[in-house]
Amino acid sequence: MKNSFKLMLCCLVLIASCNNPMKVNEAHGKGTAKIYIEESFKPLFDTSIYTFEGQNPLADIIPVYKTEEEILQDFFAKKVETMCITRDLTETEIAKLKKSNIEVRSEILAKDAVALIINPENPDSTISINQLKDILTGKTKTWSSLKTGINVVFDHENSANFNYLKNLSGVTKVPENIFAVKSNAEVINYVKNNKSAIGVIGVNWISDEDDPQTLDFLNGIRVMAVSKTATSESFKPYQSYIYDKQYPMTRDLWVVNYASRSGVSSGFLLFMTGEKGQLLIQKSSLIPANMVARVIQLKSE
């Protein structure tokens, strides 16, 4: 990161909460619905479901947190009608559902990012995308400052974070020093206790600094700044840098649904795409899909 001080303020204005085609009715606020959610987004949805149920006492949203690949398998096996993952369905997948007379609806809820975290004892606090690729392919195996081997840790095999690493590096089989634990929370704890580690997590786990659990996670780790090239400026996954794509490791949060338009799961999705849900997304330091941002940059020389 360059030495010049920059404060980026992201001003968000609701524009599209009224554009959702689903009509609100009483059934949206009562009943039980199970929603499968990629574990990267657990902090956001724990808060959102708690808020929605507080406003709708007769509603019961049951979140099931799984890896992205597990969720997709269960979705196509018709074990769940609503899922939140990091991609839309492909044309082939949509065609497969149409053969079963299933009308699927997809919508982006937010812009998200993948964060890289290290132990505070590691002075190598910046990294370029090409440097990261060299680590993921096994070309680079040692920290330049620590002179120790690099261990890359992520949450689960076949998770959204793991899929992101595979797509970024282009490899199908990762080296032995790249391995999974059991959750984003365990990735954070592993990095806290291993100075040679680099953790790969969803930024949602460390973005809401009003959450006491987030503050506990941040105590004992450092978030790496990432650059697009070896010579370009590095950025941390702050909200403004995610919005303007200066932080290079971004992705979308999608909801894919074929539940009844009048049911409680659709009611929860209306809540998430409406003003209150989008404000919760903003508070979590992700970028709401149904808001526009005006970025103000303040410089102090």
Report domain extents, the chain: 5-111+252-300, 112-250
CA pair distance 297, 82, nearest whole angstrom: 39
Topology given in CATH for the domain delimited by 5-111+252-300: D-Maltodextrin-Binding Protein; domain 2 (3.40.190)
CA pair distance 24, 15, nearest whole angstrom: 18
The pLDDT tens digits for 167-225 are 999 987 888 999 999 999 999 999 999 999 999 999 999 987 777 777 778 889 999 99
Other beta carbons within 10 angstroms of residue 8's beta carbon come to 16
Nearest to 103 by CA among 259, 289, 254: 259
The alpha carbon dihedral of 279, 156, 198, 228 has a sign of negative
- Residue 295: its pLDDT value, please? 54
The model's pTM is 0.87
- Residue 86: its pLDDT value, please? 98
- Residue 9: its pLDDT value, please? 46
- Residue 74: its pLDDT value, please? 97
CB 125 within 8 A of CB 118: yes
- Residue 88: its pLDDT value, please? 97
DSSP secondary structure, 222-270, as one string: EEPEEESSTTSPPB---HHHHHTT-SS-EEEEEEEE-S-TTSHHHHHHH
- Residue 1: its pLDDT value, please? 42
Give the position of tokens 């984003």.
184
CB 225 within 8 A of CB 198: no
Note whether 5-111+252-300 and 112-250 share their fold.
Answer: yes
CB 177 within 8 A of CB 150: yes
Segment (H or E) for 216: helix 212-218
What's the CATH superfamily of 112-250? Periplasmic binding protein-like II (3.40.190.10)
CB 67 within 8 A of CB 275: no
pLDDT along the chain (301 residues), means of 10: 42 46 63 96 96 96 97 96 97 94 95 96 96 95 93 95 94 88 95 96 86 80 96 95 95 95 93 94 92 55 50
